[in-house]
Amino acid sequence: MATTALVDPDTGLTQAQLAARHGLRVAGERPSLAEYSRRLWAYRHFIAAYANAKLVASYSNAKLGQLWQVLTPLTNAAVYYLIFGVVLAQNSIPNFIAYLTTGLFIFNFTQSAVLAGTQSISSNLGLIRALHFPRASLPLSTTMTQFQQLLASMVVLIGIVLVTGEPITLKWLLLVPALLLQAVFNAGVVLLVARLGAKSTDLKQVMPFIMRTWMYGSGVLYSVSLFERLPGWATTLVQYNPLLVYIELARYALLEQAPLLNESLTQLWLVAAGWALVAGIGGFIYFWRGEQEYGRG
């Protein structure tokens, strides 16, 4: 049945026309993409402060405090080296310790961001319902928190690389753009899973299995030369795995003799930049389209 718009008897205007005359908008209405980006930029200081607060709070109950930012990656590297370097004897890879830790730290950057980002909306419903701000601030602050932890991990990684005999070269400078591209990629993926996690709280139970499978397909724990045994189409597909690409760029920058699945450096950089653009822009637009949904129901 058709509905008729209510008309104000004094002005003869409908409610919508009255609202437009006085500049009123629907509460919680999604702004345009450009306006949303502008508002998000205005909240950049909030994002940074919130990320710092989360980082400090995550270690507030530990006696060693933020020292765990260094101890955690170092302990993980020791455990995996014991299993894959000693027990399984991966001796065919030159400087396996540095090879392994580089892959672990780079992969963990994405894994930690994605797992935390999955709950960045669902675990902050009180804040979302109490305050009005661009909701993308929350998943982006999660990415920033993990980036800060990555910087601590890089200190450990560089120490390991030096101790294991790798020389300091100009190639080390390539690590900076590689990590920045990965950070943009992570931000896009985190925005994607944040919206999905807001719709389905069960996603946080599934994501650890997805990330573990992704790790095994990214050559983190073993030589990437094993992928060459796959059928040609499968090897080509693996070459475009974004995490494998970022790991290979980091290994190329830090290690002299790291085996690479894709030996074309130009292609590696193009794929890395392509994934950063696709994930960054796509994830941002996908999250923005759900802005009105967050915190409801």
d(CA 131, CA 99): 46
pLDDT value of residue 23: 54
Domain that holds residue 154: 54-288
| Alpha carbon distances (Å) from 283 to 115, 178, 277, 288 | 16, 19, 10, 9
Please check whether residue 233 lies inside any domain of the structure. yes
Confidence of residue 233 (pLDDT cuts 50, 70, 90): confident
Q: Where is pLDDT greater, at 22 or 67?
A: 67
d(CA 288, CA 297): 18
Q: 3-state DSSP call for residue 256?
A: coil
Two tokens, residue 254:
């830090």
Amino acid at site 132 = H
Please say if the pLDDT value at position 274 is more than 50. yes
pLDDT value of residue 209: 94
Please check whether residue 110 lies inside any domain of the structure. yes
Please say if the pLDDT value at position 38 is more than 60. yes
Terminal Cα distance for the chain, rounded: 27
pLDDT value of residue 106: 94
| Alpha carbon distances (Å) from 291 to 124, 145, 259 | 14, 22, 44
Please check whether residue 32 lies inside any domain of the structure. no
Please say if the pLDDT value at position 20 is more than 60. no
Q: What is the pLDDT of residues 164-206, one digit of tens each?
A: 889 999 999 999 999 999 999 999 999 999 999 988 888 889 9
Please check whether residue 78 lies inside any domain of the structure. yes
Identify the top-confidence range among 64-73, 156-165, 183-192, 224-233: 183-192
Please check whether residue 49 lies inside any domain of the structure. no
Please check whether residue 44 lies inside any domain of the structure. no
What's the whole-number mean pLDDT along residues 20-40? 73
> How many other C-beta atoms are found inside a 10 Å radius of the C-beta of residue 261?
20
Amino acid at site 286 = Y
Quote the number of domains for the chain: 1
DSSP label of 133: S
Please say if the pLDDT value at position 210 is more than 90. yes
pLDDT value of residue 71: 73
pLDDT value of residue 200: 84
What's the whole-number mean pLDDT along residues 41-63? 81
| Alpha carbon distances (Å) from 218 to 29, 171, 213, 243 | 41, 22, 9, 6
Please check whether residue 295 lies inside any domain of the structure. no
pLDDT value of residue 285: 96
Please say if the pLDDT value at position 289 is more than 60. yes
Confidence of residue 137 (pLDDT cuts 50, 70, 90): very high
Please check whether residue 115 lies inside any domain of the structure. yes
